[in-house]
Structure 1
Amino acid sequence: MSFRTYFLLFLSGLILPIILAQFQPKPGYLDSEYYYAGGIQLATGNGFNEPYLWNYLDGTKSLPHPSHTYWFPLASIISAISMWLFNNTSYAVARIPFIIIAALVVPITVHVAYLFSKRKDMAIISAVFAIFSVYHAPFVGVTDNFSLFMFFGGLYFIFITKLLEDSTQKKNYFILGILSGLLSLSRSDGLLWLGITFLFILFRIKNYELPITNLLSRFTHQASLALLGFLLIMSPWYYRNLSTFGTLMAPGGSRALWLQNYEQTFIYPPEALTKESFLEYGWENIWNDRLWAISNNLQSGFAAHGGIILFPFILAGILYFRKDERVKLAVIAWLILFFVMTFIFPFAGVRGAFFHAGAALQPIWWTLAPLGLDSILASLRKRNWGDERGRIIFTSSLVLVTIILTFFVAYIRIFQLGWGEGKTNYVAVEQILVENGSEKEDIVIAWDAPLYYLDTNRSAVSIPYGGVEAVLAVSKQFNADYLVLEPEAALGELKDLLESPNQYENFILLGEVNGAKIFRIDQ
């Protein structure tokens, strides 16, 4: 396929994210807010430090604190580059590279598809699926990892293909390591791709009839190249973690192993999350949570990864191309992600981590969907059912339904549900605080701490899980004198505080905005 075709597809990929961006004036949800806020810190010279805190799992005791102790930094770094170049920290500027990367996913997907089938018509249909990506469409152009994972994942399978065609090109193992590193710098589950690279090398060397020592030598050499590429990307981040925390991995994620519900992501003190507390929860409850996660993640696999209408044709493509090593790798990667996000991190998985992590495989699924449909129709034609006209009708119908579903999902997510998880106007809250004598350096406890910082430039920490006592403990530890209690965050005792604020002598009601009550905390 010509460069002109790829460039036109790139331009086509810009259209929908740019249109949707007009209705997304702010990040809209916690992940995107966090990466954008982290980008601002970098662009303004504050480095990997944060004057806000969205969970307490890393054991932070004060603000500002080291950043990206739970989520990884690449999305913040990319947004920071854009803001630094334009000397502008607006969200519109921060998201520019993500819109461009989302558009680049389209020609990348086309190239993956063309390498699979050598058919331009199938590749162009895959491009349409990449543009009209159903559940992904509202998210690919925001300050998050969706477009990054699709982009790096697509490139990963391009270089896998190059190695399948010519395994003597050793530099491609190094490039696979670099791509694995970029995926890992984006999200913690990106580390999976280094393991997938090693697995691919094992797949390849088993085809050689060589003595075991020669096979081990070949594996060691190729795996070392991949590891070197991975460390080229990840070593600076590992060095930062070692110098800051004394460990390769930042400390925020390990305690998530012992969660008993999603709300405990915000638990304070975090030391309450232990293996012992997890086991005390009981194996019946633990198993029931995993059963719940199985159901929800299967639905995510069908709707989000499978694009609803594309799902059966993706399965057909997997079946027809089951001997292809790229398909084997993709299926293995998806199954590993499903296992990890269902049985090890079920609450994070259901709340979006599985949706995020699977984005790296979307170029493969968009490649297989039209091939799956075409294979089904070819099998039917062999049985004297259908003709070329039927193929055109079925393929066109699939494309049309996918486009309609994309606009429907975008409408629901952006307009019907609203682009933003909370309804509280933090600017109005800030005005009440100022009117009641709040100083600039005072810290606020709020449901969405990164958003409060973005809206007001005031330091904030999240409302902790653990009731009134946890709020008072956080207030004391972080010198946070104010609480913005929104209905969405009012769990247990905090619901009583919201509904009957005069019952608690430590909380002085200052005002109310959109159902959220604003308190001064006296201890």
Structure 2
Amino acid sequence: EGWVILTPFMFLGLWQRRWDRLVRPFWLYALGLHLAMTLVFPFPGYRGGLFHSAAALVPWWAALGIVGLHHSIDWVAQKRRRWNARVAKTFFSIGILALALTLTVFGILRQQAKPDGEPALMQELRTTLPADARIMANDPAAIYYYTGHGGVVLPNEAPEVILDIARVYNIDYLLIQFQTLDDGGRIAAIPEPLTTLLDTLPAFLSPIPLENADARLYAIDHSAP
């Protein structure tokens, strides 16, 4: 929230303005948010939780960071008579702005450096499955984004629950994806209760061959007992 370097100035600015009527709701929200996300919701969603909730604090922290910076410069100017506070405030404020712009540009360049195009697995799913197929997978949102196939997420339950969910939500296929570790090993990106599927398949699942070695695809037989 403070780009590391601005963090001490943010807290100094907050302390200086802590009783300001405009700032009071901010620090109460910030304190409550971090306490809630630490004690009540310690396991937030992969792309949600504190990261998104704290985004509302960033403009406030930025303003308080400047307040804290200027207060620090005034304090130094009192100790060093040759220190020009007005020039120092302008210089360091521009420096912080340059830092923010640099981090922004760096982040944009990193995003642009990522490989474009549709993943090979998604291409194969589009060509292999019917247009109206619905898939149970670890990341159904990504599958929908690339292929247009709707679906549901893998349950954190025993494999038998898959058939019940498939019947309720009209799911036709089960997709198991694998992740490659830094040491070259591979693990299935599935909840622990479903790991038995890697060795033993229930009668309602039928394998569908895929060229992609990082996934396994199964058809779900709704008529199975």
TM-score tier, shorter chain, comes to 0.7 to 0.9
Contact 1:342–1:349 (8 Å) recurs in 2: no
CA shift for structure 1 position 334:
0.7
Q: Give a deviation string over 1:458-485, Cα, whole Å, max 9, x none.
A: 3311111224233233223323221121
Q: Within 1, Cα distance between the matches of 2:45 and 2:143? A: 26
Q: Specify whether residues 354 and 306 from structure 1 end up closer, same or farther in structure 2 by C-alpha distance, changes over 3 A only.
A: same
CA shift for structure 1 position 429:
0.8
Please, which of 503, 508, 522 is the counterpart of residue 206 of structure 2? Answer: 508
- The answer to whether structure 1 residue 459 and structure 2 residue 158 are counterparts is no
Q: Specify whether residues 371 and 411 from structure 1 end up closer, same or farther in structure 2 by C-alpha distance, changes over 3 A only.
A: same
* 1:357 paired residue number: 53
Alignment map for 1:337-348 (pairs within 5 Å): 337-348=33-44
Instruction: Compute the TM-score of the two structures, normalised by the length of structure 2.
Output: 0.77
Q: Give a deviation string over 1:363-388, Cα, whole Å, max 9, x none.
A: 22121121211111011112225224
* 1:176 paired residue number: none
Structure with greater Cα Rg: 2
Q: Within 2, Cα distance between the matches of 1:417 and 1:514? A: 22
* 1:478 paired residue number: 169
Q: Specify whether residues 325 and 404 from structure 1 end up closer, same or farther in structure 2 by C-alpha distance, changes over 3 A only.
A: same
CA shift for structure 1 position 323:
2.3
Alignment gaps of 5+ in structure 1: 1-304, 435-439
CA shift for structure 1 position 495:
4.2
Q: Within 2, Cα distance between the matches of 1:430 and 1:482? A: 13
CA shift for structure 1 position 324:
0.9
- The answer to whether structure 1 residue 309 and structure 2 residue 9 are counterparts is no
CA shift for structure 1 position 494:
3.6
Contact 1:423–1:514 (8 Å) recurs in 2: no
Q: Give a deviation string over 1:23-65, Cα, whole Å, max 9, x none.
A: xxxxxxxxxxxxxxxxxxxxxxxxxxxxxxxxxxxxxxxxxxx
How many residue pairs match? The answer is 209
- The answer to whether structure 1 residue 405 and structure 2 residue 103 are counterparts is yes
Q: Within 1, Cα distance between the matches of 2:116 and 2:157? A: 29
CA shift for structure 1 position 394:
2.5
- The answer to whether structure 1 residue 367 and structure 2 residue 63 are counterparts is yes
CA shift for structure 1 position 442:
4.0
Alignment map for 1:511-522 (pairs within 5 Å): 511-512=209-210, 513=212, 515-522=214-221
Q: Specify whether residues 372 and 406 from structure 1 end up closer, same or farther in structure 2 by C-alpha distance, changes over 3 A only.
A: same
Q: Specify whether residues 483 and 350 from structure 1 end up closer, same or farther in structure 2 by C-alpha distance, changes over 3 A only.
A: closer
Q: Within 1, Cα distance between the matches of 2:122 and 2:146? A: 6
CA shift for structure 1 position 325:
1.4
Q: What amino acid maps onto 2:197 in structure 1?
A: L
- The answer to whether structure 1 residue 394 and structure 2 residue 85 are counterparts is no
Q: Within 1, Cα distance between the matches of 2:176 and 2:49? A: 26
Contact 2:136–2:154 (8 Å) recurs in 1: yes
Q: What amino acid maps onto 1:362 in structure 2?
A: V
Q: Within 2, Cα distance between the matches of 1:308 and 1:432? A: 48
Alignment gaps of 5+ in structure 2: 180-188
Identity of aligned residues (%): 26
Contact 1:429–1:518 (8 Å) recurs in 2: no
Alignment map for 1:90-489 (pairs within 5 Å): 305-348=1-44, 352-384=48-80, 386-387=83-84, 388-412=86-110, 414=111, 425-434=121-130, 440-487=131-178, 489=189
Q: What amino acid maps onto 1:509 in structure 2?
A: P
Alignment map for 1:6-17 (pairs within 5 Å): none
Contact 2:125–2:147 (8 Å) recurs in 1: no
Contact 2:138–2:190 (8 Å) recurs in 1: no
Q: Which has the higher strand share?
A: 2
Contact 1:445–1:461 (8 Å) recurs in 2: yes
Q: What amino acid maps onto 1:508 in structure 2?
A: S
Q: Within 2, Cα distance between the matches of 1:419 and 1:348? A: 29
SS at match of 1:483: strand
Contact 1:374–1:391 (8 Å) recurs in 2: yes
Q: Which has the higher helix share?
A: 1
Contact 2:158–2:193 (8 Å) recurs in 1: yes
Q: What amino acid maps onto 1:515 in structure 2?
A: D
CA shift for structure 1 position 335:
0.9
SS at match of 2:19: coil
Q: Specify whether residues 320 and 418 from structure 1 end up closer, same or farther in structure 2 by C-alpha distance, changes over 3 A only.
A: farther
Instruction: State the superposition RMSD in angstroms.
Output: 3.0
Q: Within 2, Cα distance between the matches of 1:495 and 1:415? A: 36
Q: What amino acid maps onto 2:42 in structure 1?
A: P
Q: Within 2, Cα distance between the matches of 1:350 and 1:338? A: 17
Deviates more, 1:322-331 or 1:396-405: 396-405
Q: Specify whether residues 516 and 350 from structure 1 end up closer, same or farther in structure 2 by C-alpha distance, changes over 3 A only.
A: closer
CA shift for structure 1 position 423:
5.3
SS at match of 2:207: strand
